[in-house]
């Protein structure tokens, strides 16, 4: 059976709407670009908005580079109310007074989580237990034991404290749940908390600058117009050092052969050839040998 769409390879910096799952957003973008294959570089909660890099075609081979990247968020946190999901989509499970809490107290509580901390993943998450997503178990009223995860909070800024709500800007390692961070801050303050808004502002070196919404894409009317707004497939890996090969080495590299080029200590690199451009990524051994990693079919 013929695949639907065209075999394009590119990256879309999508500014995801709230109320839409990451997978649903990716599939809408795929149809608008009439692309055969699409994926993303890390799930955003349906309630959340913001940066969702979408990979088309061969660009999906580099999505793991951003799955492991640091991520930036801006959240609005409400004190004094807890929910079963940790955000505004859930049912209220508790209320507590917030009288006497000051901005300085919130900052002190928030900054106590800077650095490496252990987080217990929420039940309302896409993590799986025996092949079943935890949120399916949670929706039926169930719960399972979750092992704490070591995550890192690199930056934390608290501002705009009004009434019982404040804004929290963070830069965190992969696997960090901002919902859980907000709940932990509320717990430390003794009143509980939940997220009322969440926006992802950064994924690795990528930001919201130039990002497009689905509404922007729909307004372009044709797949060709959408594709004109996409970024090259190597957008996800531009922070890796670049290595350019000769035509002879390009052919060998595409066959999966290792190349003794005497390279320095580069760890991982992105590789290009004179005939076909981007070839893929490679590791560099301690002897300076280029070892193919993820290759693009040409």
Say whether 87 is catalytic. Answer: no
Whether 51 contacts 14, CB under 8 Å: yes
Burial class (CB in 10 A: 0-12, 13-18, 19+), 163: exposed
* 76 vs 282: CA distance, rounded Å: 41
Among residues 6, 15, 17, 45, the one annotated as catalytic is: 45
What residues are labeled active site?
Answer: 45
């Amino acid at each position: 059976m013929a695949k639907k769409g065209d075999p394009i390879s590119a990256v879309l910096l999508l500014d995801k709407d709230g109320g839409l799952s990451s997978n649903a957003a990716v599939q809408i973008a795929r149809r608008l670009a009439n692309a055969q294959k699409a994926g993303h570089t890390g799930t955003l909660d349906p309630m959340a908005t913001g940066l969702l890099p979408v990979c088309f075609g061969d660009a999906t081979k580099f999505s793991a580079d951003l799955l492991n990247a640091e991520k930036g968020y801006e959240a609005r946190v409400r004190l004094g109310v807890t929910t079963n999901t940790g955000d505004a989509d859930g049912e209220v499970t508790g209320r507590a007074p917030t009288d006497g809490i000051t901005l300085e107290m919130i900052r002190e509580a928030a900054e106590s989580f800077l650095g490496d901390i252990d987080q217990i993943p929420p039940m309302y998450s896409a993590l799986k237990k025996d092949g079943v997503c935890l949120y399916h178990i949670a929706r039926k009223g169930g719960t399972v034991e979750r092992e704490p995860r070591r995550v890192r909070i690199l930056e934390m800024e608290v501002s705009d404290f009004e009434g019982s709500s404040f804004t929290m800007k963070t830069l965190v390692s992969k696997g960090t749940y901002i919902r859980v961070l907000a709940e932990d801050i509320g717990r430390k303050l003794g009143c509980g908390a939940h997220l009322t808004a969440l926006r992802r502002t950064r994924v690795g070196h990528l930001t919201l600058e130039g990002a497009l919404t689905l509404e922007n894409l729909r307004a372009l009317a044709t797949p060709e117009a959408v594709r004109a707004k996409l970024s090259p497939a190597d957008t996800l890996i531009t922070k890796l050092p670049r290595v350019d090969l000769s035509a002879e080495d390009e052919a060998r590299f595409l066959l999966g052969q290792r190349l003794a080029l005497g390279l320095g200590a580069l760890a991982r690199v992105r590789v290009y050839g004179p005939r076909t451009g981007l070839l893929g990524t490679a590791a560099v051994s301690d002897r300076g040998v280029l070892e193919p990693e993820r290759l693009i079919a040409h």
